[in-house]
Amino acid sequence: MDCLIDFSEEIRFDALPESFNNPFDYSPHPLCLKASEQIQSLLPKPSESEKGKMYGVLIATTIDNRVGFLTAYSGNEQNFNSSIPFVPQVFDITNPDGFFRIGEADLNKINTSIFEAEHSPDLIQLQKELNNEIEQAKLIIDQVKAAIATAKSKRDIIRQKSFNKPDYELVKAKLINESQREKSQLSQLKKKYQKQIEDKKQELDAYLKQIKKLKKIRKQQSAKLQEKLFNHYLFLNANGETQSASAIFSETAQKVPPAGTGDCCAPKLLHYAFQHQFTPVAMAEFWWGTSPKKEIRHHGYFYPACKSKCEPILGHMLQGLEIEGRECHYSNLTIELINEDEAIAIINKPAGLLSVPGKEENTSVYTQVKKLYPNATGPLIVHRLDMATSGLMIIAKNKEVHENLQKQFLNKTVEKQYVAWLDGIIQTENGQIDLPLRVDLDDRPRQLVCNEYGKPAVTRWEVIEHKENRTKVHFYPLTGRTHQLRVHAAHPLGLNTPITGDELYGKKNERLLLHAEEISFIHPTTSERVTFKAPSPF
Q: Which residues are catalytic?
A: 386
Which DSSP letter does residue 15 get?
Answer: G
Contact in structure between 416 and 514 (CB atoms under 8 Å): no
Strands (E), 224-320: 234-236, 242-244, 279-288, 302-303
User: 430 Cβ partners below 8 Å, 6+ apart?
Assistant: 460, 461, 462, 463
- Using H for helix, E for strand and C for coil, what is the string for 321-378? CCECCCCCCCCCCCCEEEEECCCEEEEEECCCCECCCCCCCCCEHHHHHHHHCCCCCC
Task: Please tell me the distance from the alpha carbon of residue 348 to that of residue 331, in angstroms, as a whole number.
Answer: 16
For 478, other C-beta atoms within 10 Å of its C-beta total 16
Report angle CA 372, 378, 380 to the nearest 5 degrees.
Answer: 45
- Using H for helix, E for strand and C for coil, what is the string for 232-256? HCEEECCCCCEEEHHHHHCCCCCCC
For 443, other C-beta atoms within 10 Å of its C-beta total 20
Task: Please tell me the distance from the alpha carbon of residue 362 to that of residue 420, in angstroms, as a whole number.
Answer: 27
Task: Please tell me the distance from the alpha carbon of residue 144 to that of residue 185, in angstroms, as a whole number.
Answer: 9
Which DSSP letter does residue 13 get?
Answer: G
Which DSSP letter does residue 303 get?
Answer: E
Contact in structure between 345 and 397 (CB atoms under 8 Å): yes
Q: What is the largest CA-CA distance in the chain?
A: 125
Contact in structure between 282 and 59 (CB atoms under 8 Å): yes
Task: Please tell me the distance from the alpha carbon of residue 244 to that of residue 233, in angstroms, as a whole number.
Answer: 5
Which residue in 83, 23, 508 sits closest to 267, CA to CA? 23
Contact in structure between 35 and 69 (CB atoms under 8 Å): yes
Burial 49-69 (b: 16+ CB within 10 A, else e): eeebbbbbbbbbbeeeeebbb
CA distances from 430 to 279, 412, 505 (A): 51, 21, 21
State the Rg of the chain over Cα: 34
Pairing of strands 302-303, 279-288: antiparallel
Angle between the 265-275 and 310-317 helix axes, to the nearest 10 degrees? Answer: 20
Task: Please tell me the distance from the alpha carbon of residue 380 to that of residue 403, in angstroms, as a whole number.
Answer: 10
Whether omega for the bond prior to residue 492 falls within 30 degrees of 0, making it cis, is no
